[in-house]
Structures are given as C-alpha cells and as structure tokens.
Amino acid sequence: MAMDDNKSLGQQASPGGGVSLSKVTLTKSAPSVSLTKQGSVGGTMRVNLNWNARPASTGGGFFKRASGGAIDLDLGCLYEFSDGSKGAVQALGNAFRDHNQFGPNPIIRLDGDDRSGSNEAGENLFVDLSDISRIRRILVFAFIYEGVANWAAADGVVTLFPVSGPQVEVRLDEHAANSGMCGVAMLENVGGELSVRREVRYVSGHRDLDRAFGWGMEWKAGRK
C-alpha cells in the first residue's frame, strides 16, 4: 500500500547555430529516447525537478522558489520492478526509498523534501542503473502538495542526468487547471532496452495517476 526503439530526439540548438549534444529535450513531436542506445545506462542517474513560482509581488528568480506564498511542488515516482513489486518513492508518507528485494541498497531514493523554499537546486531522485534488468518501469511525477494548482506559474522542468551521454529534459509546458498532479516521464525497460518517454499528463491525485497508467496499487491518505 502506498501513500496518497529510439524513435526521435528533440535536440537543443547551440548558440553557434549547430546542435547541442549535451541535452535532449523531449517534446510532443519527439517524445522518447533510448538511454541504452545513447550510452546512458550504468551508474546512478539523477532526476531533478526545478521550477519558478514567479509570485507577482517579488518577481522571483529563474528556477527559484519565493519564501512567501510559494507552491510546495514535490517530486516522486511510481515504480514496478522485474520481480513484480510496486510502490511509490515520495516525501508523502516518508517514503524516501523503494523496498526492493534485490539487495540492501535502494534502486530509487529521494534526497529529501525542501518545504522552506531555500533550496535552489530543487528536488532530486536517484536511480541506480547499474543493473537495469531489475527495472520494469518508473513513472516520474510532480505534484502540488500545498498552494494553488497553477502549473503555468510554476514553469516546471524535470531533467535526467545520466552518468554518461546527454541530459534529458522534459518541460511541463502544457497546463491543466485544478489538477494537482502531473505524470511527467516514463522510464521503461523493454527487451533489455531502457527508454524514457515524455508523458506530461495532468490528473487530480495519486489514485487518478495510478488509474491512468495502470499501476494497480491501493492508496490511503497520507501526510508529511
């Protein structure tokens, strides 16, 4: 129980007019990339959520949270491993790591929950990709724990930082009013090839996210 084939690349233009190989931006027209084919499997990958609250009273700063009236935007994921185990890693319910049966170390862990607005680095998940055979799929999500569900003002971005190969960026550039949760990106292992796919699908909460992606877990109300 948890608490409440490489199709295309969206490559970033470099300042000199060429193509930057340091970042891949996933878009609706270019939604997926194979981490395996671009040599990004292995070691520990960092998944970062950052945003800009842009409060009208202060103007804010790029990817900075304001101290007053800020949205508490949280990072988390649903996971399903190859042994059939499922769960969530998130600050809600203090579920800061998975409970896999492959060994003593977590495959997925969350670095913490910054509710003060003082951490300009955002929030980070760490995913162990040293043995991707253990992973079936991981759905990275963001949700607004407190504050108005104003995704346009938050201007969120999730960036995957593999040990090697380009960064993979998913911008939350579509918005839905009154939806507190967004399924951002899906990491999926198909036949030994690990890919990441842009989702950016907005729902009301955890149960709706579970239903939308067919996770099949039971949910109860949680607090942090």
Q: Who has greater pLDDT, 61 or 163? A: 163
One-letter amino acid at 99 equals H
Which domain, by its residues, includes 184?
Answer: 32-61+70-213
> Which pLDDT value is given to residue 97?
95
Looking at the chain, the whole-number percentage of residues with pLDDT higher than 90 is: 55
Question: Is residue 19 one of the residues assigned to a domain?
Answer: no
Cα distance between residue 62 and residue 151, in whole Å: 15
**Mean pLDDT, residues 79-92 taken together:** 94
Instruction: Tell me: pLDDT of 159 over 90.
Output: yes
Question: Is residue 75 one of the residues assigned to a domain?
Answer: yes
Q: What is the CATH number of the domain that holds 176?
A: 2.60.60.30
> Which pLDDT value is given to residue 219?
82
Question: Is residue 11 one of the residues assigned to a domain?
Answer: no
The string of pLDDT tens digits covering residues 19-36 is: 446 899 999 999 999 999
Minimum mean pLDDT among 35-39, 210-214, 217-221: which range? 217-221
Minimum mean pLDDT among 2-11, 100-109, 118-127, 137-146: which range? 2-11
Instruction: List, edge to edge, every strand of the sheet that includes 157-161.
Output: 11-13, 19-26, 167-171, 157-161, 44-50, 123-128, 108-110
Question: Is residue 222 one of the residues assigned to a domain?
Answer: no
**pLDDT band at residue 178, thresholds of 50, 70 and 90?**
confident
pTM summary value = 0.83
Question: Is residue 124 one of the residues assigned to a domain?
Answer: yes
Q: How many domains does the chain have?
A: 1
Q: Which helix (H) or strand (E) holds 210?
A: helix 206-213
